[in-house]
Structure formats: structure tokens, C-alpha cells
């Protein structure tokens, strides 16, 4: 990976050291998904308007993308605009769309230089034409990149995703290419917008709210959740490292018993 990175600042030796320590101390999550929350409260706490919080949030996006790339995270999904966000005041929606266009214009080249593939999930045909065009161009330019996938959830909601999957599956049943009895977890997962992406290992939510807010509802079945009180504009790589360190202490059991208990049980059974 290009060490210049997205923030165009040299990585400090201390930061490199922290990353190496994390890499040695446990597994780096393959897929991290982030609910970026608290931009408005961050701005309010400074006596500023909400859009200032969103602008500061873009700097966090750049730092987190860069740090994930350096750490070896393969997939990073950011909840940038939910289906429900269309209900915000017109001025805020258009300011967010403008920010997205500006960010795509200024960052796509750096994403490409860093071998990062940009993708999106959501009802992107609802986005304004300029936004859609910038997004499509960035996706096309970076399509063959391999180092990391940066997926932007735009006009996305988990329920929308499940509805569109059910609708496409129903059409296949109607067309006779699929039997209802064949519908299982894999079939559903293959029809979700995230079909090409593994389920998130770690979901981070900033600003202290303990909810998923309609994000990756199906895909989060066994994700580890990490909630921090930090507002998104203050969430930078050091906070990300804390989230990963917390993840590394978790035991992922997927509904089964812990590995050491399984061993004890089989020893007892053999006696
Ligand atoms: C939630 O904070 C944040 C959003 C709805 C938008 C996130 C967008 C960005 C960080 C900027 C653009 C993104 C990219 C990928 C370039 P909030 O407004 O709900 O904050 P509040 O809960 O404090 O009101």
C-alpha cells in the first residue's frame, strides 16, 4: 500500500508500532462496518451548525479508511446515508450530497493509488444525478483494485435490502427457476446487496447509541458490536485501534459452546 495514504501525511513510527502490535495480538477483523453517528451533536457542542459536523466527519472517514488499509482489513462498510435520512431537512440532505460529491472528487484518485476498490449498497438511483455519476465513475475506475474494498451504504437500510432480496427471490420462484423449498440462508444472502461481501465481523457505532438503526440487519447476525461514546468526527485511528483490541478479546461462539468446553465434554464422554 502507498504509505502516503489518504490523508497525505507520513505515518508516524508510533502509529506503525501500534498497528504491528494489534496485528500480532490477535485477528484483524476481515470486515468492519461502521455506523457513523454524532456529527450533529459534535457540531452543536461547539456552537456550530450540523453540516460543520458532517464536514469534520469526512476527515474521520479518510483517517479510518487509511488505517484499515494499512492494518489489512479487507472490507470496510460505512453507513453514510440511510433510507430514513431522506426525511431530514432539505438543506441538510443537499449539503450531505454535496459533501459526498466533493469527497468522491478529491479522494477517488488516492483510493485508486492505494489499490482500494470502491463499491456501494443501497437505492443509489435515488441519489441526485451528479452524485450518482461521480459514484459510478469512482466505482468503475477502482473496480479491479484488490487491497481493500470500501463499501458506501448510500440510501441504504437493512429492511430495504431484505425486501429487495425477497422480491427477486419471489420473481425466480414465479419464473420457475427456484423452488420455495430451496430457499435457505445462502439463497437469501446471495440476493442481498452485500452478496459479494462477507458478513461484518465487527460493527462499530459511535456516539453511544445501542442500536443498529436499520443497518445490515441480516448480515449482523453474528457480528461483534462495539459502541463508543465518541462522536464520529472525534473517532480517528486511535479509537479504531481500541475497537479492534476489544474485538480481539471476544470469543466468537456462533451459538456453540466455547472451544475449551467442547474439549472437556468430549474427554468426559470418552471416560
Ligand atoms: C450521522 O450523524 C451521520 C450521517 C447521517 C452522515 C455521515 C456522513 C459523513 C460522515 C460525511 C460524508 C460521508 C462520506 C462517506 C464521504 P448525525 O447527523 O445523525 O448526528 P446526530 O445524531 O448527532 O444528530
193 has a pLDDT exceeding 60: yes
CATH topology of domain 25-157+199-270: Undecaprenyl pyrophosphate synthetase (3.40.1180)
Q: Mean pLDDT, to the nearest integer, of 238-263?
A: 87
pLDDT at position 267, please? 64
Element (H, E) at 110: helix 90-113
Here the cell at position 34 is 461502521
Q: For residue 256, what pLDDT is reported?
A: 83
Q: What is the mean pLDDT of residues 116-143?
A: 98
Give 95: exposed, middle or buried? Use CB within 10 Å, 0-12, 13-18, 19+: middle
pTM listed for this prediction: 0.93
- In angstroms, what is the C-alpha Rg of the chain? 20
* Residue/partner pairs of 195-198 with CB below 8 Å, 24 or more apart: 196/119, 197/31, 197/75, 197/77, 197/119, 197/149, 197/151, 198/30, 198/31, 198/75
Mean pLDDT (whole number) for 24-38: 98
How far apart CA 211 and CA 49 sit, in angstroms, is 25
pLDDT at residue 208 greater than cutoff 60: yes
- Cβ < 6 Å from ligand 1: which residues? 36-41, 50, 54, 57-58, 61, 78, 80, 85, 99-100, 103, 152, 207, 232
Give 81 Cα–ligand 1 centroid separation in angstroms: 7
Q: Region 9-18: what's the mean pLDDT?
A: 93
66 pLDDT exceeds 60?
yes
pLDDT, mean of residues 228-248: 98
Residue 125: the pLDDT is 97
Exposure string for 9-22, b = 16+ CB within 10 A, e = fewer: eebeeebeebbeeb
Helix (H) or strand (E) holding 184: none
DSSP assignment, residue 123? -
CA nearest neighbour of 76 among 103, 26, 111 = 111
Q: Band the pLDDT of 254: cuts 50, 70, 90.
A: confident
Q: Measured from the CA of 60, which atom of ligand 1 is nearest?
A: 10
| Catalytic residue ranges | 37, 85
Pocket test for ligand 1, best of 42, 65, 80 (most atoms within 8 A of CB): 80
CA of 175 to the centre of ligand 1 (A): 41
Query: Which pLDDT belongs to residue 10?
Result: 87
If you take atom 22 of ligand 1, which residue's CA is the nearest one?
38
Query: Which DSSP category does 178 fall into?
Result: S
Query: What's the whole-number average pLDDT of the chain?
Result: 94
Domain extents in the chain:
25-157+199-270
Amino acid at each position: 500500500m502507498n504509505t502516503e495514504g489518504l490523508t497525505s501525511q507520513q505515518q508516524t513510527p508510533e502509529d506503525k508500532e501500534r498497528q504491528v502490535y494489534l496485528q500480532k495480538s490477535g485477528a484483524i477483523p476481515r470486515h468492519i462496518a461502521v455506523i457513523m453517528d454524532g456529527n450533529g451533536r459534535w457540531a452543536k457542542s461547539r456552537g456550530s451548525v450540523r453540516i460543520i459536523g458532517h464536514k469534520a466527519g469526512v476527515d474521520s472517514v479518510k483517517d479510518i479508511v487509511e488505517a484499515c488499509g494499512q492494518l489489512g482489513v479487507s472490507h470496510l462498510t460505512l453507513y453514510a446515508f440511510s433510507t430514513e435520512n431522506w426525511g431530514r431537512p432539505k438543506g441538510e440532505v443537499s449539503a450531505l450530497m454535496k459533501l459526498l460529491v466533493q469527497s468522491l472528487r478529491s479522494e477517488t484518485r488516492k483510493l485508486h493509488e492505494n489499490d482500494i476498490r470502491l463499491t456501494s449498497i443501497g437505492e443509489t438511483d435515488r441519489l441526485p444525478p451528479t452524485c450518482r455519476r461521480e459514484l459510478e465513475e469512482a466505482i468503475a475506475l477502482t473496480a479491479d483494485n484488490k487491497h481493500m474494498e470500501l463499501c458506501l451504504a448510500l440510501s441504504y437500510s437493512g429492511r430495504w435490502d431484505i425486501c429487495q432480496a425477497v422480491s427477486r427471490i419471489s420473481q425466480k420462484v414465479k419464473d420457475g427457476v427456484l423452488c420455495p423449498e430451496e430457499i435457505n440462508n445462502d439463497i437469501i444472502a446471495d440476493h442481498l446487496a452485500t452478496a459479494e461481501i462477507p458478513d461484518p465481523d465487527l460493527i462499530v457505532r459511535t456516539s453511544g447509541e445501542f442500536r443498529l438503526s436499520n443497518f445490515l440487519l441480516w448480515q449482523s447476525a453474528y457480528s461483534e458490536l462495539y459502541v463508543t461514546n465518541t462522536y464520529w468526527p472525534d473517532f480517528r485511528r486511535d479509537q479504531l485501534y481500541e475497537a479492534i483490541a476489544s474485538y480481539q478479546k471476544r470469543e466468537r461462539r456462533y451459538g456453540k459452546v466455547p472451544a475449551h468446553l467442547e474439549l472437556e465434554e468430549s474427554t468426559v464422554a470418552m471416560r
